[in-house]
Amino acid sequence: MTIIPNSKLGGFNLHGGRQQDVHARLYILTWHWLSVCIYHPAWAFVLLIRVMGSQGLEFGISKCSACAFFMDLSGNRELLDRTLVAFFASRNAPPEALDLATRWAQEITQTDKVVISGFHSPIERAVLDILLAHGCSVVVTLGRSLYRKIPTHLQSAYNENRLLFVSFRSHSRQSYSNSQIRNWATADLASELIFAPFDNTSQLSTLYFTYSASSTPCCIIGE
């Protein structure tokens, strides 16, 4: 008996009898991927794509919520029902990235879209400042547990019901693996992905190239 994914049902089906080799490979890969993605989600997607090609890509994205098996919310939960645009920017972005990102942020304030991001890197924080200054609502994703005390610069937006915190981990501190889970889970919640320019050594490259080959709209500002 082999367990194979069924995307139409959003789960698994059981099939008895003689199975093709691809089903056996899929069984092993599925459970290996679920364990790897908790700590190294980027490598989990690379593994799926290399072994299964486009089928692995679509399966991986459809099951990305497995990375975010833990999700805690604080704030205006109705923001999750709005059109969410994920924004990502590397800590080591090229010089032109900040100017492009701030101009994009000014443009997004003229729409009814809600930006979802970790707002962790300097450029992401600059975008957050622009959004808050224009009275926009935002979703802040965390690779750690929810704040016990709302950060001062976010308190006003939180009080005005313009902010939602989404935590994907129960740990109190950030870590590399937690930040990766945060980024992939953030992308999974969004209907569109926007990236500030980054170089090929950035950890965001795997996330971008994975989603750029999917059905989710994805682009780098300025390209």
Whether the Cβ atoms of residue 179 and residue 171 lie closer than 8 Å to each other: no
Give Cβ neighbours of residue 88 (< 8 Å, ≥ 6 apart): 117, 124, 183, 186, 193, 194, 195, 196, 204, 207, 208
> Helix 122-133 crosses helix 97-108 at what angle (to 10 degrees)?
30
The overall pTM is greater than 0.75:
no
- From first to last of its 223 residues, the chain has per-residue pLDDT tens of 333 333 322 333 333 333 344 444 444 445 444 544 544 454 455 444 444 444 444 444 444 444 444 678 999 999 999 999 999 999 989 999 999 999 999 999 999 999 999 999 999 999 999 999 999 999 999 988 898 899 999 999 999 999 999 988 666 566 567 778 889 889 989 999 999 999 888 889 889 988 888 889 999 999 8
Alpha-carbon distances of 119 from 16, 18, 53, 116, rounded to whole Å: 48, 50, 32, 8
Task: Give me the phi and psi of 31, to 5 degrees please.
Answer: -75, -35
Domain 72-220 architecture: 3-Layer(aba) Sandwich (3.40)
Which pLDDT score, from 0 to 100, does residue 11 have?
A: 33
Tokens 């704040």 appear where? Answer: 147
Token pair 């089906």: residue: 13
How many residues are there in the chain?
223
Sign of CA dihedral 23, 65, 203, 99: positive
Return d(Cα 186, Cα 182) in angstroms, integer: 6
What residue ranges do the domains of the chain occupy?
2-66, 72-220
Residues 6+ positions from 32 with CB-CB distance below 8 Å = 47
d(CA 110, CA 9): 38
> What local confidence, expressed as pLDDT, does residue 160 receive?
97
Question: Which of the 8 DSSP states describes residue 199?
Answer: -
d(CA 185, CA 167): 10
Q: What is the pLDDT of residue 176?
A: 60
* Amino acid letter for position 194: I
